[in-house]
């Protein structure tokens, strides 16, 4: 019987009390323990942290009991934390691995088990494969679960509690000089979406001229008012309204575990994730004058390639998931890395998405340039030309997965939206490159039962036509 524990683009996620149970969490933890013992990383210990979701701390404790039961020393968080704080803690404490109990942007009915490698980034494919192999051994009865009660683990010195947030915020201040931001006479609205980022931007940026208004700033595992705590346009109506009503200079949103960011301009206009990443990359290349590759997934904007040509830097692409982006960033010493979901990472920090740091770099771009977000976008478009983008997510029942994957694998249209297809790439799903310079992608989500369709072109009309054709071809 196939395991219920399936790792996607970033960890394992399932519905609480259905697939995500204490039994399965303990099995997943034992899988990690086996991997760490086999790879030799167990001697360095593990970091375990958790978010604001229902029972996250209890799932983290169950994880710690299994790891310590296997003789692995653990640091267990005393409070909820953003996922990037967990990644930084792995590096800061020189741990062999990390676990973050979170389902990130998924609905409140979900929880999840993210694994971090000793380099602080998402577990790479080979590490995940070893964990899954260990899980198979447990579920087949080849090995037995071992655990140690929390108080016994503390008594024997195998477990310590720690604050993952304070040192992480200090690290952010090393990556971005926040004093000019605090001193700027700007008004910023922050939407923490009831998640792990609650209260952290005010804590970082208080005490100066900057006026910060936080909405949805109290942790709530139900994420009321949101289908899921994901900083996409459909979920940012309250933030856009608050920016307009207060006359704010910008809006910034974080997802449930604060590793992703959503941006809103001073006029309430949503800044797409492709625009946001390109805007931040442009700032780092232009105003900070940094040089080095800009790494992104296949779903990221072609504006990135135009920036690469303008600033003479490489722009390598990866499959979707930071388990691919992070290692490429480290290998190439990249300036920035990102994916279409709104997760961006930066040189000098962890090779992992960081929503708070992305927000700080966005504010830095505003302060150093003296420009509002709409002006920064105009500046970007003067280099790249105009771009429009949209993504459509289609829910499906798991029993349709094979059928939909077959449709993706066999799709070979000659044109989309009136544009001829010049070539295709099947690195992750299928990407069609159009003769207009635009593109379209269809692929399965690695974290949810969703089929995703993406398109980018010079204008919204072209994007709409491309997606309409793609939808028809797939019979959706």
Q: Is residue 457 part of a domain?
A: yes
Tell me whether residue 1 is in a domain: no
Same domain, 308 and 455: no
**Residue 275 pLDDT:** 96
Q: Are residues 345 and 395 in the same domain?
A: no
pLDDT for 264: 99
Backbone angles phi, psi at 353, to 5 degrees: -60, 145
Per-residue pLDDT, 218: 97
Determine the pLDDT at residue 404. 86
Q: How many domains does the chain have?
A: 3
Is position 169 within any domain? no
Query: Are residue 18 and residue 99 in the same domain, yes or no?
Result: yes
For residue 19, what is the domain's CATH number? 3.40.120.10
Q: Domain end: 136, 164, 192, which one?
A: 164
What's the CATH code of the domain at 429?
A: 3.30.310.50
In a domain, 218, yes or no: yes
* 120 and 36 belong to one structural domain: yes
Nearest-angstrom CA–CA distance, 210 and 217: 18
Rg (CA), the chain: 22
Q: Are residues 63 and 188 in the same domain?
A: no
Among 104, 132, 164, identify where a domain stops: 164
Q: Which residue has the tokens 């994901």?
A: 230
What stretches in the chain show pLDDT beneath 50?
Answer: none
The reply to whether 67 and 200 lie within a common domain is no
459 in a structural domain: yes
Q: Is residue 170 part of a domain?
A: no
Angle at 378 between CA 336 and CA 422, to 5 degrees: 70
Q: Which of 363, 384, 405 is the last residue of a domain?
A: 384
Do residue 211 and residue 356 come from a single domain? yes
What's the pLDDT score for residue 405?
Answer: 87
Same domain, yes or no, for 214 and 260?
yes
Q: Is residue 2 part of a domain?
A: no
11 in the same domain as 156: yes
Residue 465, domain extent: 388-473
26 and 97 belong to one structural domain = yes
| HSE value, Cβ hemisphere, 13 Å, CA-based, for 192 | 25
Give yes or no: residues 145 and 203 share one domain. no
Q: pTM to 2 decimals?
A: 0.93
What's the rounded Cα separation, in Å, for the pair 243 and 7? 38
Distance in angstroms between the alpha carbons of the first and the last residue of the chain: 31
pLDDT for res 10: 86
Whether 127 maps to a domain, the answer reads yes
> CA 376 to CA 380: how far, in whole Å?
6
- The reported pLDDT for the residue numbered 402 is 86
Same domain? For 265 and 295 the reply is yes
- CA dist 255 → 229, 276, 343, 428 (Å): 5, 15, 10, 24
The reported pLDDT for the residue numbered 1 is: 59
């Amino acid at each position: 019987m196939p395991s219920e524990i399936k790792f996607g683009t970033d960890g394992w996620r399932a519905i609480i009390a259905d697939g995500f149970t204490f039994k399965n969490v303990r099995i997943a933890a034992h899988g990690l323990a086996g991997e760490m013992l086999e790879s030799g990383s167990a001697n360095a210990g593990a970091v375990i942290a958790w978010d604001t979701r229902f029972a996250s701390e209890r799932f983290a404790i169950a994880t710690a009991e299994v790891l310590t039961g296997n003789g692995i020393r653990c640091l267990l968080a005393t409070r909820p934390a953003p996922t990037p704080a967990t990644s930084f803690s792995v590096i800061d404490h020189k741990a062999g691995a990390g676990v973050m109990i979170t389902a990130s942007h998924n609905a409140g009915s979900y929880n999840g088990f993210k694994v971090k490698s000793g380099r602080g980034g998402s577990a790479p494919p080979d590490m995940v494969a070893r964990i899954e192999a260990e899980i198979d051994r447990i579920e087949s009865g080849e090995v037995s679960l071992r655990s140690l009660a929390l108080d016994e683990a503390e008594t024997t010195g195998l477990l310590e509690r720690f604050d993952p947030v304070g040192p992480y915020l200090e690290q952010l201040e090393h990556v971005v000089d926040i004093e000019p931001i605090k001193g700027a006479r700007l008004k910023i609205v922050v939407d923490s979406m009831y998640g792990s980022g609650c209260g952290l931007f005010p804590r970082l940026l208080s005490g100066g001229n900057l006026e910060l208004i936080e909405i949805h700033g109290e942790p709530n595992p139900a994420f009321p008012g949101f289908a899921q705590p994901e900083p996409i346009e459909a979920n940012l109506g309250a933030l856009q309204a608050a920016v307009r009503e207060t006359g704010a200079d910008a809006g910034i949103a974080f997802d449930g575990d604060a590793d992703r960011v959503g941006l809103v301009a001073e006029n309430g206009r949503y800044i797409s994730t492709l625009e946001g990443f390109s805007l931040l990359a442009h700032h780092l290349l232009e105003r900070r004058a940094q040089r080095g590759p800009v790494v992104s997934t296949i779903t990221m904007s072609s504006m990135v390639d135009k920036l690469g040509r303008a600033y003479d830097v490489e722009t390598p692409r990866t499959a979707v998931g930071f388990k691919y982006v992070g290692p490429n960033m480290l290998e190439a010493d990249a300036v920035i890395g990102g994916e279409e979901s709104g997760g961006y990472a930066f040189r000098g920090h962890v090779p992992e998405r960081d929503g708070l740091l992305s927000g700080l770099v966005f504010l830095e771009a505003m302060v150093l340039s003296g420009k509002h977000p709409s002006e920064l976008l105009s500046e970007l478009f003067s280099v790249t030309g105009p771009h429009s983008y949209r993504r459509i997510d289609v829910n499906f029942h798991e029993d349709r997965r094979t059928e939909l994957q077959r449709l993706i694998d066999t799709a070979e249209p000659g044109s989309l939206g009136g544009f001829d297809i010049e070539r295709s790439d099947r690195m992750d799903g299928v990407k069609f490159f159009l003769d207009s310079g635009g593109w379209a992608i269809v692929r399965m989500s690695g974290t949810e039962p969703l089929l995703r369709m993406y398109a980018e072109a010079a204008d919204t009309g072209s994007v709409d036509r491309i997606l309409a054709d793609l939808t028809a071809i797939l019979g959706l």
